A and B are shown apart, each in its own frame.
Chain A
Amino acid sequence: MHSLIQLSIVVLLLPLLSFVILIFFNRRLPRRGDFIGVGILGSAFAISAYIFWSVIVQTYDPAFRIAWDFTWIDLGNVPGVGPLQIKMGVVIDNLTAIMLAMVTLISLLVHLYSTGYMAGDKNYGRYFAFLGIFTFSMLGIVLSDNLFSIYIFWELVGLSSYLLIGFFFEKQSAADAQKKAFLANRVGDIGMWLGILILYSQFHTFSFEQIYANLAAGQFGLSNGWLTAAGILLFMGCVGKSAQFPLHVWLPDAMEGPTPVSALIHAATMVAAGVYFVARIFVVLTPDALHVIAFTGALTAFMAATIAITQNDIKRVLAYSTVSQLGYMVLGLGVGAYSAALFHLVTHAFFKACLFLGSGAIIHAMHHEQDMRWMGGLRKHMPWTFATFTLATLALAGLPLTSGFMSKDAILAGAIGFAKVEGGGIFYLIPVLGFFSAMLTAFYMGRQIWLVFFGESRTHLKPADDHHAGHHAHASHDEHTDEHHSEHGVHEVSWNMRAPLVILATLSVFFVYSPDPLDGGKGWFMKMIQTPATVVGENNHQKGELLAAGVAAPTLPEAVPTVAAHGEAPAAAAGEHGGAEKGGHTYADPRQAEIIHAGHGAHYTAIYISSIMVLLGISLAFVVYVFRIIDPEQTAIAIQPLYLFSLNKWYWDEIYEATFIKGSMLIANILSWFDATIVDGIVNGAATLVRNFALLNDGFDRHVVDGMVNFTAFTVNTTGAVLRKLQTGKVQTYVVMLLLAVFGYFVFYLTRLIY
């Protein structure tokens, strides 16, 4: 077993340890044992940093991959299949290494930050325990080498997010939000599970390696439609987790959780897991599946952006921006800009975490005021927060010199290339939506910055009897509530909350990733994370003659590695643009090759357009909020319907409430009525019969059965009565009966004898 593997397993288990310790003993420990959480995460980060170092920096090899697995369930010698095991395992490649470092780092920072933010909460210890189990599950997703374990940890992050969203469970809204989040995710998981099942049912294995190998060998028994379905279904998992349309509704509500949690789970890591998962299964996605993914992403990005511009809750704005950014990533994967999407995943993780923690600092300072309308002028009071927040904002908006610029631009470039290759038309919608959302992003972030940090404090404008419920629920912070909001209440946060902000802000600058602020492609990241060759391209069917023709098509069983190897090796050598052309030749699947090529070609166009859009957006923000040339209120009234449409989040919640929730409750009630009356009635045929013959006892009387059964009861009842009445008690009747019986049969027999 490779030493890195061992280390990674240690990293995986450390947070679990922290969870176990804290959940059981937090009340017995000093400071509720938060230091344990922080300490353990610190060491976890240290180890993963080492892994990162040795994988990315030392062995600078795009094809780097080590894996290890063990038999978890042994089904013995299954008839018709042969020996069958379900294995669990760990895989480390560049992506894993990067994610590992990223997750542990952010988690560590959030732990640290929380020591300040959550101080004094009555479930302080439990909070860190939950963070621990979340980190554990997240790392699990990152490290898994097979679909089954990824599904397991998938559910587990769902659980931890459930627990953390509902951390203030006394608050009804929190309780609702956590339920909503879990169920929405479950819906996604169903799809994912079915997708997994489709693949398993063909190959009787869950491992990525073997599934891809088998697929590359064209051993997929079912039609290609099934394969596309598998891709889309697996993508549903991402739709749930990464809050893509139509399952995006849970993420904004998830902001009911503590803000650091929002930063960790609902901005940086868990929601990105969906994207990560799609990246993992990228190679099985058929073109059709990819189209679906691309459009979903584009739509999500656009929709969320439009919603974000009108939200007033500082966290909700960020939440929708998160949705929108996730949309970008998904879009990126959909258009085949694989590395760009993942690049954006990482950069976004850092700056969005920074933004959330910043907003957390603001909320903390404002005594849990979350409505931007009552903020303003915080610039002076919280310089650190202001600086870091702004930097992160720029990154999010995608201004040059920031990390966000590079990644987003790469995605958009890919989108353009994709549209070109797919032959334009409807497909240009994707880049267009992308660019438009970029503008919107710039606009609403500018708005936020302005509302929060500039101008004068508007705390006093706040109507008094608003949002009190919000306060009561925070049992932990009751001491604040009676304090009236005034500026001298607002002050910069303490170091343990400031440090994370600074670190994250620094990670949002370009040089961390690439020497050239205009091209992420030159950076180490894009080198390390190369688009893997698809195993389901058109060429799958003619793989036969391809092999005959001696074309170096991937061959079993180490198909993926070979492709990767002799695909990327030259690419890596050829620095700069090399990736594109050489890559073009090396991808077995022509479509994929073209797209990547076109993507690189469209690089600069993308830069120009996006910069313009961003500038447009920011200037618009200035026009509206700084120079007040356009009065937002007036505009809002002027475009009332549009405004409301956006303010009410396109009415998705209402729609779902009206259809799915109401619908299923209706069905449930109908069915249970059906059960209590009809089924019970019908199946009780015997019992009913018995009952109606029997002495009536109250239990039976109370039991209502529906008309049909009543009818049975009635008939049976009457017949029973009749039979009973035969016993008149008059002996002569008996004699008559006797004779009737005898002669009756005799006559019957006579007739039978005659005919």
Chain B
Amino acid sequence: MEQLTTIGLNHYLTISAFLLGFGLFAVMTRKNAIVVLMGVELILNAANINFLAFSKYNGGMEGVMFALFVIVIAAAEAAIALAIVINIYKIFKSVDVSSIDSLKE
């Protein structure tokens, strides 16, 4: 009972694990490049939650700082990714990652 009422570290970890799962699922299954990138963001955020949770539960600021940087990186990554995706769209007239496979074997 107490497990349910008071929020503990495990809850955070579970959430983040779920996020990671969703992210990976999105990356693996979605056809649209944008959605795939969203999946990536989910993965990063799963990591963020971990960091913050751990930082809260065993003290020290490293986790927080890490999370901040991850957020920044994620933003930058999104920028580059979008640029590339747009370029892809220009060339292939589509953002379906599964259809872009001219380079293989």
**Residue contact B28 to A736, C-beta cutoff 8 Å:** yes
- Write the chain A residue with the least CB distance to B29: A732
CA distance A731 to B101 in the complex (A): 8
- Write the chain A residue with the least CB distance to B98: A730
**Residue contact A728 to B27, C-beta cutoff 8 Å:** no
Cβ contact of B105, chosen from A724, A732, A736, A739, cutoff 8 A: A724
**Residue contact A732 to B104, C-beta cutoff 8 Å:** no
CB neighbours of A223 from chain B (8 A): none
Indicate if B103 sits at the interface (CB-CB under 8 A): yes
26 contacts between A and B (CB under 8 A): A724-B105, A725-B105, A727-B104, A728-B101, A728-B104, A729-B101, A729-B102, A729-B103, A729-B104, A729-B105, A730-B97, A730-B98, A730-B101, A730-B104, A731-B97, A731-B100, A732-B27, A732-B28, A732-B29, A732-B36, A732-B97, A735-B24, A735-B28, A736-B28, A739-B24, A739-B28
Of the four ranges (under 10, 10 to 19, 20 to 34, 35 or more), the interface on chain A belongs to 10 to 19
**Residue contact B27 to A735, C-beta cutoff 8 Å:** yes
CB neighbours of B98 from chain A (8 A): 730, 732
Classify the secondary structure of A's interface with B. helix
- Write the chain A residue with the least CB distance to B97: A731
- Write the chain B residue with the least CB distance to A732: B28
CB neighbours of A736 from chain B (8 A): 28
Q: In whole Å, how far is B61's beta carbon from the nearest beta carbon of chain A?
A: 30
CB neighbours of A732 from chain B (8 A): 27-29, 36, 97-98
CA distance A515 to B104 in the complex (A): 108
CA distance A730 to B33 in the complex (A): 12
CB neighbours of B97 from chain A (8 A): 730-732
Question: How many B residues face the partner with a CB closer than 8 A?
Answer: 13
CA distance A433 to B97 in the complex (A): 103
CB neighbours of A735 from chain B (8 A): 24, 27-28
CA distance A728 to B28 in the complex (A): 14
Q: In whole Å, how far is A693's beta carbon from the nearest beta carbon of chain B?
A: 13
Q: In whole Å, how far is B3's beta carbon from the nearest beta carbon of chain A?
A: 25
CB neighbours of A730 from chain B (8 A): 97-98, 101, 104
Query: Which residues of A696-755 have CB atoms within 8 Å of chain B's CB atoms?
Result: 724-725, 727-732, 735-736, 739
Query: Which residues of B22-60 have CB atoms within 8 Å of chain A's CB atoms?
Result: 24, 27-29, 36
Query: Which residues of A574-594 have CB atoms within 8 Å of chain B's CB atoms?
Result: none
CA distance A724 to B24 in the complex (A): 25
**Per-position binary interface string of chain B over residues 79-98, scored 1 when its CB falls under 8 Å from any chain A CB and 0 otherwise:** 00000000000000000011
CA distance A728 to B100 in the complex (A): 11
CA distance A736 to B97 in the complex (A): 14
CA distance A732 to B97 in the complex (A): 8
CB neighbours of B36 from chain A (8 A): 732
Q: A729-B102, A729-B104 are known contacts; what are 16 more A-B pairs with Cβ within 8 Å? A: A724-B105, A727-B104, A727-B105, A728-B101, A728-B104, A729-B103, A730-B97, A730-B98, A730-B104, A731-B100, A732-B27, A732-B29, A732-B97, A735-B24, A736-B28, A739-B24
CA distance A725 to B104 in the complex (A): 8
Q: In whole Å, how far is B50's beta carbon from the nearest beta carbon of chain A?
A: 17
Q: In whole Å, how far is A740's beta carbon from the nearest beta carbon of chain B?
A: 11
- Write the chain A residue with the least CB distance to B30: A732
- Write the chain A residue with the least CB distance to B103: A729
CA distance A305 to B101 in the complex (A): 93
CA distance A730 to B103 in the complex (A): 9
CA distance A735 to B40 in the complex (A): 11
CB neighbours of B104 from chain A (8 A): 727-730
- Write the chain A residue with the least CB distance to B101: A729
CA distance A739 to B27 in the complex (A): 11
- Write the chain B residue with the least CB distance to A721: B105
List of 7 A-B pairs having minimum Cβ-Cβ separation, nearest first: A729-B104, A729-B101, A730-B101, A727-B105, A724-B105, A730-B98, A727-B104
CA distance A735 to B98 in the complex (A): 12
CA distance A730 to B101 in the complex (A): 5
CA distance A739 to B29 in the complex (A): 13
CA distance A729 to B27 in the complex (A): 15
CB neighbours of B29 from chain A (8 A): 732
CA distance A732 to B103 in the complex (A): 14
CB neighbours of A725 from chain B (8 A): 105
Q: In whole Å, how far is B18's beta carbon from the nearest beta carbon of chain A?
A: 16
CB neighbours of A727 from chain B (8 A): 104-105
Q: In whole Å, how far is B95's beta carbon from the nearest beta carbon of chain A?
A: 12
- Write the chain A residue with the least CB distance to B99: A730
CA distance A724 to B105 in the complex (A): 5
CA distance A736 to B101 in the complex (A): 16
CB neighbours of B100 from chain A (8 A): 731
- Write the chain A residue with the least CB distance to B33: A731
CA distance A148 to B39 in the complex (A): 91
CA distance A528 to B98 in the complex (A): 109
Identify the interface centre among B36, B100, B102, B104: most chain A CB within 10 Å of its CB: B104
CB neighbours of A731 from chain B (8 A): 97, 100
Q: In whole Å, how far is B46's beta carbon from the nearest beta carbon of chain A?
A: 14
CA distance A728 to B104 in the complex (A): 5
CA distance A223 to B7 in the complex (A): 99
- Write the chain A residue with the least CB distance to B27: A735
Q: In whole Å, how far is B29's beta carbon from the nearest beta carbon of chain A?
A: 8
- Write the chain A residue with the least CB distance to B102: A729
CA distance A418 to B105 in the complex (A): 90
- Write the chain A residue with the least CB distance to B24: A739
Query: Which residues of A66-84 have CB atoms within 8 Å of chain B's CB atoms?
Result: none
CB neighbours of A728 from chain B (8 A): 101, 104
Q: In whole Å, how far is A457's beta carbon from the nearest beta carbon of chain B?
A: 93
Q: In whole Å, how far is A381's beta carbon from the nearest beta carbon of chain B?
A: 95
CA distance A253 to B97 in the complex (A): 88
- Write the chain A residue with the least CB distance to B36: A732
CA distance A653 to B102 in the complex (A): 74
Identify the interface centre among A725, A728, A731: most chain B CB within 10 Å of its CB: A731
Q: In whole Å, how far is A729's beta carbon from the nearest beta carbon of chain B?
A: 3
- Write the chain B residue with the least CB distance to A736: B28
CA distance A443 to B78 in the complex (A): 120
